[in-house]
Structure 1
Amino acid sequence: MTLLALARAALGIVGVLGTVALAVIVLGTFLPRVPVIGFLGSFVSGQYPLHAALGALVGLAAGVGLLALGVPRLGGVVTTVGALAVVGTLVALGTQAAAARAAGVRVDWGLALTAVDQRGAPPDLVVEYQPGLELAVHLPSGPGPHPVLVWVHGGSWVRGTTADRARANRWYADRGLAVVAVQYRLPGDPPLPGATLGEAQRHDVACALAWVGGPGAAHGLDAGAVVLGGQSAGATLALSTTAALVGVPRASLPAGCPAPAPRATVAFYPVVDMTQIALGLQDAVFGGPTSAHPALTRAASPGDLVDPRLPPTLLVLGKADNFIRADLVRDLDAELRAAGVPGRLVQVPYADHVFDHPYGSPGAQIARPAVLAFVRERISDPSGR
């Protein structure tokens, strides 16, 4: 085989594979509700939009190379798809950049390219707050007392660790906000007697708040300046635990860990209605289908817990979220504001669930300053409103 033939074959393989991948990404980005394709496109555009744009340029170059090597039919297809992909990915990227500018954020594109996860930020302190359960604490410099963000990880109520937003937690701590990441019990951990897993997890979140208000003071934490937040399942736990602590009638907590209500709540893409989760997760959280446990379901569903007593609440959402009902999150925001609960909804265009897992994604760079500003505003307001 000649060198020219090898070059044609290599570029042909790259072109075909790249064309399929780019077509899926671009179609899914702009048609996020199409099964499978929508998830793949919005996932990539939410987490790695710069990488997608660079990949589109490579695809376009492969098509041009095929044309130059005398492969007109395949080269034409690859060039056309590559050109469309360049336009599509740049539209998504540009829209996210515009959203950042509107929020007063300057995106660090080097960070977007290289910071693709949350590694490299170990906590300053790990403590056991209940038997077998730990808190990972990121502390600001200086003696304190420091305002606190108690953070509840996601993982569909059945997985996840305190490290899944470790680098973001370090970012907050470097700006004066201590972060206490909660390891709550999961299937396989010792159960809380007399409680379902979902009730036990809310109990654990309340116990973490109680630790901040007690032993946490020795580590420079300010018990009077605490915000509760989380992402995905953790956001749902944060919202439902807060509702119980402020006395919303439909909410509930197992006894044993009295804790003060947080000054505010931050929820990244929460599940609003627990009847919407998969049957297997319903079994894990409630011990059976939600239809058999209506009171427990209401106590765990933020959409059933809207009440004027709730503290200020910030919601963060990828506009193209395929894992949860994004429309219900938008409805929840409207219902909270109608009930007189202060706060706002931050939406990241072309972004799916966990868009902020890469530390450098544009969505993550938009969301972190929004959370920090919200927390600072609520902490500085003695009324909490």
Structure 2
Amino acid sequence: MIRLILLVILLLLSLLAVCKAPAYYLWLMAIMVTEYPLIFVGISVLLTSWGIWNIPYRLAGNVIGIIAIVLFLSPIVRAYWISKSLKQDMVQSLSGADTARVSYPYRQPFSLNKLIASAQPSQFKTHTYVNYPDIALKLDFYQSRVLGKRPVVIVVHGGSWSSGDSQQLPELNGFLAGRGYHVASINYRLAPQYKTPAPVEDIENCIKYLRKHADKLYIDTNKIILLGRSAGAQIALLAAYTLHDKAIIGVIDFYGPADMVWGYSIPSNPLIMDSRKVMVNYIGGKYEQVPAKYVACSPLEFVDKQSPPTLIIHGYNDVLVAYEHSRRLNEKLQQNGIQHYWLKLPWATHGFDYNINGPGGQLSTYAVETFLNTITQ
């Protein structure tokens, strides 16, 4: 009986690999289920194998266990199939007529061996990049391990515009430093004390700081890329599309809200997050009170034919920032003929890249590296 109960629990958890999480803590579990699948596969195999012996409910337990194993394996299988065409898909999307323009890594986008690998920590130095009268903002600088003046990626953390810091999800920063990119992971002014467009102003000041210290930090100031996650992606996109800085040669959007007007009209599941309250704290009022501000901080409103190349990465099962945001941004980029690529991850939820070696983490890291290699040539 205990075996059957445990297998039923595992079956319910395995549904998070194919369905959207209905509550906050189940969303956190969904990240574990989809990006650390081998752990759950192993537990399910052990419990199912227990049914070899003649124990009560053996058949029912075996059936439930096998279904759970299949569902836990589904992110791996789907990642494998996406990886088979990812290289070619990115070449077609980013190259235009000249396929030689796309520079992709000489490795496979997805590897089973990497699923059991651990990310290596990377060293960084902290710098104060701007002093306001009431606050000083710092950035963590990951030095490129390739010599010479190198491009710099400015990373903007997530956290609903009100939390998080520069040391959030550092594994990608260290990976990119190893691939020849400087990374400046920044702190910015947080809501509700500070409202939009304060974080965009912070990015502008970060760029000024990096330019001023470019010789000391070995930065190629003609090649600046913005990367943001969630709320940080909204900030990065808005900065890329509104600062009109020719040195910003690309922007990378991890599951960011691109249409704040539409996002307010369709709030997220209240059992996971009160998205309207989050937006009000950041923007400074309800949409009915300050509609122009919602338009002003919607990145897709500012896409035009001069916008920089864009990489969009989003999981279909995202329960915090709707997948529709990326569909709308992708459509706007297509309409304006902007070089871009949208990596769609059918099983992934918000924050899937917590594990850089998980199914979604591997594919997104490959896409980021390919995108950076291409736009910095």
2:233 and 2:254 in contact (8 A); partners too: yes
- Could you say which residue in structure 1 is the equivalent of 2:14? 26
What corresponds to 1:332 in structure 2?
Answer: 329
Name the SS of the counterpart of 1:25 in structure 2.
helix
Q: What is the CA–CA distance in structure 2 between the aligned matches of 1:26 and 1:313, rounded to whole Å?
A: 33
Checking the alignment, whether the CA contact within 8 Å between 1:321 and 1:353 is kept in structure 2 is yes
The match for 1:349 among 326, 346, 369 is 346
Q: What's the TM-score once normalised by structure 1's chain length?
A: 0.81
The reply to whether residue 371 of structure 1 matches residue 368 of structure 2 is yes
Alignment partner of 1:81 out of 59, 64, 74: 64
Q: Alpha carbons of 1:92 and 1:165: their partners in 2 closer, same or farther (altered >3 Å)?
A: closer
The partner residue of 1:317 within 306, 314, 317 is 314
Equivalent position of 1:49 in the other structure: 37
- CA distance in structure 1 between the aligned counterparts of 2:158 and 2:295, rounded to whole angstroms: 20
Change (3 A) 1:33 1:17: closer
Task: Give the count of matched residue pairs.
Answer: 342
Letter in 1 for 2:158: G
1:38–1:165: structure 2 CA closer, same or farther, 3 Å change rule?
A: closer
**Contact 1:27–1:41 (8 Å) recurs in 2:** no
Change (3 A) 1:260 1:340: closer
Asked whether 1:200 is paired with 2:198, we answer yes
1:124-273 alignment runs, 5 A limit? 125-131=125-131, 132-187=136-191, 196-246=194-244, 261-273=247-259
Q: Could you say which residue in structure 2 is the equivalent of 1:274?
A: 260
Q: What pairs up with 1:105-120 in 2 under 5 angstroms?
A: 105-115=108-118, 120=121
Aligned counterparts of 1:379 and 1:45: Cα–Cα separation in 2: 35
2:209 maps to a residue whose letter is: W
Percent of residue pairs identical: 23
Q: Is the 8 A contact 1:321 1:352 kept in 2?
A: yes
Most deviating of 213-222 and 308-317: 213-222
Distance apart, 1:83 and its partner CA: 0.9
Q: Deviations over 1:231-274 (max 9, x none)?
A: 1111110011112112xxxxxxxxxxxx6551111111111222
1:94-135 per-position Cα deviation (integer Å, ceiling 9, x unaligned): 1112222333525344442353xx673231x21000132111
Give the letter for the 2:305 counterpart: P
Query: Structure 1 residue 82: deviation in Å?
Result: 0.4
Match of 1:383 in 2: none
CA RMSD in angstroms, aligned pairs only: 2.4
Q: Is the 8 A contact 2:146 2:178 kept in 1?
A: no
Q: 5+ residue gaps in structure 2?
A: 88-107, 265-274
CA distance in 1, matches of 2:360, 2:158: 17
Contact kept? 1:119, 1:167, Cα under 8 Å = yes
Letter in 2 for 1:97: Y
Question: Aligned partners of 1:93, 1:328: CA distance in 2, in Å?
Answer: 25
Partner of 2:49: 61
Match for residue 91 of structure 1 among 74, 90, 104:
74
Are the aligned partners of 1:32 and 1:41 in contact in 2 as well (CA < 8 Å)? no
**1:217 Cα deviation from its structure 2 partner:** 3.1
Compared with structure 1, are the counterparts of its residues 161 and 87 closer, same or farther at alpha carbon in structure 2 (3 Å cutoff)? same
CA contact (8 A) 2:154 2:184 kept: yes
Which has the higher mean CA deviation after the structures are superposed, 362-371 or 85-94?
Answer: 85-94
**1:35 CA displacement:** 6.6
SS at match of 1:147: strand
In structure 1, the residue matched to 2:289 is 292
Cα distance in structure 2, aligned partners of 1:59 and 1:70: 12
The 10-residue stretch of structure 1 (106-115 or 78-87) with the greater mean CA deviation from structure 2: 106-115
Mapped partners of 2:181, 2:187: distance in 1? 19
| Counterpart amino acid of residue 182 in structure 2 | A
Name the SS for the 2:243 alignment partner: helix
Do the aligned residues in 1 keep the contact of 2:315 with 2:350 (CA within 8 Å)?
yes
Contact kept, 8 Å, 1:28 with 1:34, in 2: the verdict is no
Residue 218 of structure 2 aligns to which amino acid in structure 1? G
Where does the alignment leave 5 or more consecutive residues of structure 1 unmatched?
1-11, 247-258, 381-385
Shift of 1:291: 2.4
Bigger CA radius of gyration: 1
Question: Residues 43 and 292 (structure 1 numbering): CA distance in 2 closer, same or farther, change over 3 Å?
Answer: same
